[in-house]
Amino acid sequence: MNGALSIGIISSLMSPVMGNILDRFGSKWTMAISVLLVAIAFVLRSVMTELWQFYLFTAIMFAGTPGATMLPAGKLVMTWFPSIRGRMMGRVTAGNNIGSGIATPVVASLITLVGWRWTFGVLGIALFGLAILIVLVVSDNPDDVENERGKKWSPPEQTGASRLNPRAGLSVSAVLHSQAFWLLAIGMTLQQFLRTAVVSQMVPHLQQVGFSFAAATTAMIVLAIGGASSKLIFGQLSETVTARIAFVMVMVLQFAGLLMLTFAGGSFVAWIAIPVFGLGMGGVGALTPLVVAEMFGVRNLGTITGLTRASIGLPVVAGPILAGLIYDNTGKYELMHIITMAFLVVSIACFVFARRP
């Protein structure tokens, strides 16, 4: 099962490809085809009989993930809501946390009622319906946006500095030759160890320091609430202090929360650390496309965002393995926490010194 999860590196490798397709063909068809891939993977899982099939269908699912979620969301928000892009990005990406909270009991209930095969089938069919809905509803044509001005439910007017020209921005070649891109890519990659090497091991760590399983599960719910709140808070704050500075702030919160969590043991301080940790962790999803657009413009937003996500495959693969090796050799997770805090210090420095080309 964990071997299948490690196939998630395909999402990182596919991100630049899907980003380029997004810039060339728009969000509608990128999203629809990507969701269709995930739907096909779920339906095929419902009839699988061999382990290799599970791995293959999981690979198909991960291949569709980048183009179904964050990449097109960033492009659509920048197109439709440039003057309030921070708060809208926060609201859109909070759906990840809300969806996780809703999906877990729904899927568990379905498995209990109809079994795992039919559950995969039902989810696949629902995703086919979502792909059709995307084709009917989604539009990222700037002319369509302008035609909606003044109508009911129309986006707010764009004036002055708040207006983004969807055709303005640096070329991919110019971005790759800039110091800012590499600083941001390194910073985004290293801070992902927090998710892959710490959060993935959070429940066993909390149990080890004295939490009951029920208390550890409750702590994860608090963490998720903090993550959703972070997207809303720092998405809106990015409109005032810039997305880059907001990203620095969430990483400082990550560091502070992890520091308290590492040395709090099972004391009440851990219950302070967990929401602080969540507030730092959640904002990353909302702020990533905002930082890219702020630094390099919107014209090649999909490709550049995809390129920044390509190296995230490193913590996806190495994070859980490194955490497991450390635990097996020391009997604790504290050393992994300290290594992650060192990575966060480097990430913060990268974002502090990154400057718009």
**Which tens digits make up the pLDDT trace of 200-210?**
888 888 888 88
Q: What is the pLDDT of residue 129?
A: 96
| Predicted model pTM | 0.80
Q: What is the pLDDT of residue 253?
A: 94
- CB of 186 closer than 8 Å to CB of 310: no
Q: What is the pLDDT of residue 188?
A: 92
Q: What is the pLDDT of residue 77?
A: 86
Of 323, 315, 309, 322, the closest CA to residue 344 belongs to 315
Q: Where are the domains of the chain?
A: 2-143+162-353
In the chain (357 residues long), the average pLDDT of successive 10-residue segments reads 74 85 87 94 94 92 87 84 86 80 80 92 95 90 73 58 62 89 93 88 84 83 86 89 93 93 82 89 86 86 83 83 87 91 96 91
Q: What is the pLDDT of residue 158?
A: 54
Superfamily grouping for domain 2-143+162-353: MFS general substrate transporter like domains (1.20.1250.20)
Q: What is the pLDDT of residue 165?
A: 61
Q: What is the pLDDT of residue 183?
A: 94
Q: What is the pLDDT of residue 161?
A: 45
Of 282, 193, 278, 283, the closest CA to residue 247 belongs to 283
